[in-house]
């Protein structure tokens, strides 16, 4: 066997081992997530039987529902039944709507994904250049202003900013479309294809509906984007400061390269992998934590559905939402890991 063939087989074996290791990590993470979700459903101080029958039900009805839910079985039997139901796509039936939880999540999740996606795009487009500018002007007025702006954006309560935004941009100036995803005049015209109103209205050439949807999503997306922009700009500044202190940057400057070339062609590519992680975490946080902004803007999304389910004590819906949040983070980790190999050849 030639040396070239041996190296090729060794490389292929290494790649197969990495893929199997990654799949094993995903399987363990998923099993841990399912177990955690099951435990949360059992330790929360909410009686699932009372959530179904109500507090005024007699003992006979209570016992009947208790048995129907399988709560009379040992915990390990309940756990196996829980896993079996999940494998069949059964998350139970929601008390809030009377429909299967999976149908409710499929219905409300696109609204949150659309809002979070617009927000993370705005936050990244603004946060990365601001972070680079702060790093290249370290200790000067530009750096201080950007750091102060980031600190205010990150620490200011998001629900307070949302209410001020509605008061000023909607009530006073009339620039925003107000609460909800679309104006009341277009409610009857909603026939979602994908659940993403901006995309659906564009595909169907309904530009009046598109303008209404855009005017409604702009303000909450900007507020969420401000929050993520503050985080992304702070981390970008930190990463860039570390790179600008490296010897290869000094060498590039000694060679007479322009400052623009030094920053964007030499330093910035070396922080791409770190930025991918930060943006992925910020995006996951937006999907998970858009509860307050959805409540302020009456946005019919995942966060509002989870809040209503918690208030009602609907454990099927709550456990389903917790499971979806965990799956989102696992998926984002997989996507980020795949993008690492695109931006960093050393990971091949």
Tens digits of per-residue pLDDT, 310-322? 777 777 788 888 8
The pLDDT of residue 123 is 92
pLDDT exceeds cutoff 80 at 114: yes
pLDDT at 102 over 80: yes
Highest mean pLDDT among 38-52, 100-114, 147-161, 169-183: 100-114
In sequence order, the 6+-apart residues with CB closer than 8 A to the CB of 196 are: 110, 113, 114
What value does the mean pLDDT take over residues 98-103?
A: 85
Structure tokens at 74: 């040992």
The span from the CA of 340 to the CA of 343, in Å, is: 5
Q: Cα separations (Å) of 41 from 45, 79, 249, 324?
A: 9, 11, 53, 14
Alpha carbon 52 to its chain centroid, in Å, reads: 31
The DSSP-derived string for 158-199 is HHHHHHHHIIIIIIIS--S--SSSS-GGGGGG---SSS-HHH
- Percent of residues, the chain, with pLDDT higher than 70: 83
Give CA–CA dist 221/219, Å, rounded.
Answer: 5
- Better pLDDT: 81 or 10: 81
The residue-averaged pLDDT of 180-199 equals 74
Per-residue pLDDT band at 8 (split at 50, 70, 90): low
Question: What's the pLDDT score for residue 309?
Answer: 81
Q: What is residue 100's DSSP assignment? A: B
pLDDT at 27 over 80: no
Q: Which two tokens stand for residue 294?
A: 């959805």
Q: Which region among 7-11, 96-100, 158-162 has the lowest average model confidence (pLDDT)?
A: 7-11
More confident residue, 138 or 339: 138
Q: Which residue has the tokens 């330790």?
A: 43
Query: Class of 103-347 per CATH?
Result: mainly alpha
* Residue 328 vs residue 27, higher pLDDT: 328
- Identify the H or E element spanning 71: none
Instruction: Give the residue-averaged pLDDT of 138-156.
Output: 86
| pLDDT for res 3 | 58
- Quick check: 89 and 102 in contact, CB under 8 A? yes
Higher pLDDT, 162 or 58: 162
The H-assigned helical ranges of the chain are 3-43, 48-53, 59-68, 75-87, 101-136, 141-155, 158-165, 197-203, 207-244, 247-254, 259-261, 272-289, 291-296, 302-312, 315-343
Q: 118 pLDDT band (50/70/90 cuts)?
A: very high
Please state the domain extents for the chain.
Answer: 22-87, 103-347
Q: Which range, of 52-56, 132-136, 319-323, 343-347, averages the lowest pLDDT?
A: 343-347
Average per-residue pLDDT for the chain: 80
Q: Could you tell me which residues are beta bridge partners of residue 100?
A: 93
Using alpha carbons, select from 109, 112, 122 the residue that is nearest to residue 223. Answer: 122
Cα–Cα distance for residue pair 158/290, rounded to 1 Å: 10
The answer to whether residue 11 scores a pLDDT higher than 60 is no
CB 120 within 8 A of CB 127: no
Check residue 5 and give its pLDDT: 60
- The stretch 74-85 carries a mean pLDDT of 80
A 10 A CB-CB count for 2 gives 7
**58-66 mean pLDDT:** 74
Least confident of 42-51, 300-309, 339-348: 339-348
Q: Which two tokens stand for residue 19?
A: 């893929």
- What six digits make up the tokens of 318? 């709550």
């Amino acid at each position: 066997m030639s040396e070239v063939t041996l190296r090729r087989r060794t490389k292929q074996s290494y790649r197969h081992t990495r893929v199997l290791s990654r799949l094993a990590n995903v399987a363990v993470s998923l099993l841990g997530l399912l177990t955690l979700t099951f435990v949360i459903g059992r330790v929360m101080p909410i009686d699932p039987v009372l959530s179904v029958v109500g507090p005024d039900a007699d003992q006979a009805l209570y016992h009947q529902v208790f048995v129907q839910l399988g709560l009379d079985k040992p915990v390990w039997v309940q756990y196996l039944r829980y896993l079996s139901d999940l494998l069949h796509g059964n998350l139970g039936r929601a008390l809030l709507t009377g429909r299967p939880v999976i149908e409710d999540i499929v219905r409300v999740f696109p609204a949150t994904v659309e809002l979070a996606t617009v927000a993370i795009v705005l936050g990244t487009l603004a946060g990365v250049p601001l972070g680079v500018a702060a790093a290249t002007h370290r200790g000067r007025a530009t750096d201080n202003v950007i750091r102060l702006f980031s600190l205010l954006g990150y620490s200011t309560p998001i629900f307070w900013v949302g209410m001020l935004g509605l008061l000023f941009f909607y009530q006073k100036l009339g620039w925003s479309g107000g609460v909800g995803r679309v104006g009341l005049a277009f409610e009857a015209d909603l026939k979602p294809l994908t659940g993403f109103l901006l995309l659906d209205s564009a595909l169907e050439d309904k530009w009046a509906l598109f303008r209404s949807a855009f005017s409604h999503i702009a303000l909450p997306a900007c507020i969420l984007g401000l929050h993520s922009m503050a985080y992304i700009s702070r981390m970008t500044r930190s990463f860039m400061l570390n790179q600008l202190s490296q010897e290869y940057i000094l060498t590039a400057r000694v060679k007479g390269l322009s400052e623009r070339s030094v920053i964007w062609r030499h330093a910035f590519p070396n922080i791409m992998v770190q930025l991918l992680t930060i943006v992925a975490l910020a995006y996951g946080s937006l999907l998970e934590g858009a509860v307050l902004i959805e409540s302020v803007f009456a946005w019919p999304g995942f966060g509002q559905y989870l809040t209503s389910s918690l208030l009602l004590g609907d454990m099927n819906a709550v456990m389903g939402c917790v499971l979806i949040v965990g799956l989102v983070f696992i998926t984002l980790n997989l996507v980020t890991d795949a993008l690492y190999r695109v931006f960093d050849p050393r990971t091949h």
